[in-house]
Chain A
Amino acid sequence: MDYNLIALLMFSTMLLMMLTGQRVFGAIGFVAVVAAMALWGPGGTDMGFSAVMKLMKWTPLLTLPMFVYMGYVMSESRLAEDLYRMFHVWFGPMPGGLAIGTILLMVMISVMNGLSVAGMAIGATIALPELLRRNYDKLMISGVIQAGSSLGILIPPSVVLVLFSLIARQPVSELWLAGAVPGLLMAVLFIAYITIRCRLNPALAPAMSAAERAQITWPEKLRLLRAGLLPIFIFAAMMVPFLNGWASLTEASVIGALSAVLAAVVKRRFTWAVFETATRNTLAITVMFMLIITAALSFGAVFDGLGAGRAIENFFLKDLGLGPWQILILMQLSFLVMGMFLDDTAMLVIVAPVYVSLARALGFDMIWYGVLYTITCQIAYLTPPFGYNLFLMKAMAPPEFTLPVIYRSVFPFVLVMVLTLILVMVFPQLALWLPQTVLGR
């Protein structure tokens, strides 16, 4: 069969299977094993299982449950409450202040976990009720929480960058450092957007009343600043041993998880319920990811082995007759479009190997490309109709946050993310400066 046809067939069947609403891993895995059995020839049936053994050797995946667990310990024990109170008190007086505070909270949450799910949980349970009580605009609330929590995968530690490091074979330490500045830049741009919107239309985000402001004393304001020490402590406990080479990546992730537990214990919030929920949810999320990655790895290997991977490479590199930058932009655009419809993790595992080898063939810096890739993933989390944060928002928010509200709310924030993406593309130093400075690459 023609390679291009195989590529087209496998992708379109996968899309169709996903549309059936069957579990994503089942949909992808089904296409993978059927394609292998129909087209591979003898021995094709083993292609599904060999992905399990491949995954076992991917040592950095040990960090996945740890970073997820950290996030759950934090959200379940409501460790972030003081942190939120801090931002509330300091930024509340400004128009849009609480929304800005929420973004800053999300930055803090991001340095303590590797996915966006913890940010979503904390945003929905701690920030959302407060924002509603203060009559913030629903679109603003929904957008801020979804966009802010997506920073979890760009600001280190990041599970997506761990996966990227496995696929692109790049050091995760460099990738993480490279994500930091663009992550902070994106947060600043979110804040700039919120500020401008709220100056133009103060009704979106009413500032704290004068009476309430008068109640907050300076000693309290200063006392609350201490809450900011928590993320610094957890981040340092994890990153200092890692960047100094005292602990490996996997060991550092355990130290991080245990630091979160320690913080919760010290604050007397590590109850049986917290332990139980965090442990169970960590299993659920880890299983979800691992099953998708397993299926997607099979899909990718079958896709490669049937020659479809090469067909795509030839299409971009030879048939199109474009320059490297044009191809890069095309790749990002196609990924954005696919991110709307397909599962983000599956995309990462299936599409990344092809795109990574393309980007490498075109001579781009792989660390920089990893950051572009992660920002694209963040956007995929948010773009309708399919995206993790959209689903999580629907599941966690009160019923008045209908799907249309959630869909519409992300629009301006997606534009800000695209702006960040463009800035990092035009100025690669935004990503590369920090790793070069710290690691002297």
Chain B
Amino acid sequence: MPGWTKTYVRWIEALNYRVGRFAMYLLYAMMAILLWSSVTKFIHIPALWTLEMAQFTLVAYYMLGAPYSLQLGTNVRMDLLYSRFSPKGQAIWDVFTIFALMFYLGVMLYGAVDSTAYAIEFNERNPTAWRPPLWPIKVIISVSFLLMLLQASVHLIRDIAVIRGEEI
């Protein structure tokens, strides 16, 4: 494989690893927010922002964690036939089917960017009393889809390498 592919793979995987490891700990942020919500309720001054903030955190948690989960290979496949192939067979097969995944991610990215642009242009706010602006979470979603797309391209390169019998 050309040298640049190796650099590309290394960089993207390192990036997604770090983003994913960061996202992983947002679980505890979610817990803290919801606990705080309980506390404020207990002292009869429920906070206005906790539920929405927890929702945003959940979205950031699983969206930013998604590229890392692709890396970990933890997204379930219906591998009745697939699992019977040799590694090379799987790679050949994946080179084709990964385009379906990339197409889906591409359309999602398009939708996310479109929606983010709208949120910024009109300063869109969540229709609630707290009225937080929506662009930050939409930017996070857009970035996540981009990172997933990049991670998928890494899988494609790795598959091609396997087919050519090379190491990456």
Residues of A within 8 A of B (CB): 17-27, 29-30, 32-34, 37, 45-46, 48-50, 52-53, 55-57, 59, 61-62, 65-66, 69, 246-248, 250-251, 254-255, 257-258, 279-280, 282-288, 290-292, 295, 342-343, 385-386, 388, 391
Contact at A388–B76, with CB atoms within 8 Å? yes
* B45 at the A interface (CB under 8 A): no
Closest to B144 in A: A52
Contact at A288–B75, with CB atoms within 8 Å? yes
Further pairs besides A55-B59, A283-B65: 8, Cβ < 8 Å: A17-B100, A23-B70, A34-B103, A50-B111, A255-B38, A283-B24, A283-B27, A343-B76
Q: Map CB proximity to A onto B116-152 as digits: 1 under 8 Å, 0 otherwise.
A: 0000000000000000000001000100000000000
Query: With A65-B30, A66-B31, A254-B35 in contact, is A284–B74 under 8 Å at CB?
Result: yes
A-B contact count (CB 8 A): 174
Q: How far does the alpha carbon of A283 sit from the alpha carbon of B17 in the complex, in Å?
A: 13
Closest 10 CB pairs of A and B: A21-B82, A49-B111, A26-B101, A284-B74, A29-B104, A22-B97, A287-B69, A30-B100, A23-B75, A33-B107
Contact at A48–B107, with CB atoms within 8 Å? yes
Segment 84-127 of B: residues with Cβ below 8 Å from A: 90, 93-94, 97-98, 100-101, 103-105, 107-108, 110-112, 114-115
Interface centre among A37, A288, A385 (most CB of B within 10 A): A288
Q: How far does the alpha carbon of A288 sit from the alpha carbon of B68 in the complex, in Å?
A: 11
Q: Which A residues are CB-close (under 8 A) to B54?
A: 62, 250
B interface SS class: helix
Closest to A61 in B: B58
Interface centre among B81, B94, B100, B115 (most CB of A within 10 A): B100
Residues of B within 8 A of A (CB): 20, 23-25, 27, 30-31, 34-35, 37-38, 41-42, 51, 54-56, 58-59, 61-63, 65-66, 68-70, 72, 74-83, 90, 93-94, 97-98, 100-101, 103-105, 107-108, 110-112, 114-115, 137, 141
Closest to B56 in A: A56
Contact at B65–A37, with CB atoms within 8 Å? no
Contact at B98–A22, with CB atoms within 8 Å? yes
Q: How far is the CB of B48 from chain A (nearest CB, A)?
A: 15
Q: Which A residues are CB-close (under 8 A) to B141?
A: 52
Q: How far does the alpha carbon of A279 sit from the alpha carbon of B68 in the complex, in Å?
A: 13
Q: How far does the alpha carbon of A125 sit from the alpha carbon of B108 in the complex, in Å?
A: 39
Contact at A22–B100, with CB atoms within 8 Å? yes
Contact at B104–A21, with CB atoms within 8 Å? no
Q: How far is the CB of A199 from chain B (nearest CB, A)?
A: 36
Q: How far does the alpha carbon of A53 sit from the alpha carbon of B69 in the complex, in Å?
A: 21
Contact at B24–A279, with CB atoms within 8 Å? yes
Contact at A52–B59, with CB atoms within 8 Å? yes
Q: How far does the alpha carbon of A55 sit from the alpha carbon of B69 in the complex, in Å?
A: 19
A sample of 18 inter-chain contacts (CB < 8 A) reads A18-B78, A21-B82, A25-B75, A27-B100, A30-B103, A48-B108, A50-B111, A55-B59, A59-B51, A59-B55, A65-B27, A254-B38, A258-B31, A279-B24, A284-B65, A287-B66, A288-B76, A391-B79
Q: How far does the alpha carbon of A343 sit from the alpha carbon of B78 in the complex, in Å?
A: 8
Query: With A69-B27, A288-B74 in contact, is A21–B58 under 8 Å at CB?
Result: no
Contact at B62–A286, with CB atoms within 8 Å? yes
Contact at B110–A295, with CB atoms within 8 Å? no
Contact at A19–B80, with CB atoms within 8 Å? yes
Contact at B61–A283, with CB atoms within 8 Å? yes
Contact at B107–A283, with CB atoms within 8 Å? no
Contact at A26–B104, with CB atoms within 8 Å? yes
Closest to B80 in A: A385
Q: Which B residues are CB-close (under 8 A) to A33?
A: 103-104, 107-108
Contact at A391–B76, with CB atoms within 8 Å? yes
Contact at B69–A251, with CB atoms within 8 Å? no
Q: How far is the CB of B158 from chain A (nearest CB, A)?
A: 15
Contact of B69 among A27, A34, A61, A283 (CB under 8 A): A283
Q: Which B residues are CB-close (under 8 A) to A22?
A: 77, 94, 97-98, 100-101
Q: How far does the alpha carbon of A56 sit from the alpha carbon of B110 in the complex, in Å?
A: 19
Q: How far is the CB of B19 from chain A (nearest CB, A)?
A: 12
Contact at B101–A251, with CB atoms within 8 Å? no
Q: Which B residues are CB-close (under 8 A) to A57?
A: 55
Q: How far is the CB of A345 from chain B (nearest CB, A)?
A: 9
Q: How far is the CB of A190 from chain B (nearest CB, A)?
A: 26
Query: With A22-B101, A52-B141, A386-B80 in contact, is A287–B62 under 8 Å at CB?
Result: yes
Contact at B34–A251, with CB atoms within 8 Å? yes
Contact at A23–B77, with CB atoms within 8 Å? yes
Q: Which B residues are CB-close (under 8 A) to A61?
A: 58
Q: How far is the CB of B82 from chain A (nearest CB, A)?
A: 3
Closest to B26 in A: A283
Contact of B100 among A26, A37, A55, A248 (CB under 8 A): A26
Q: Which B residues are CB-close (under 8 A) to A65?
A: 27, 30, 58, 61
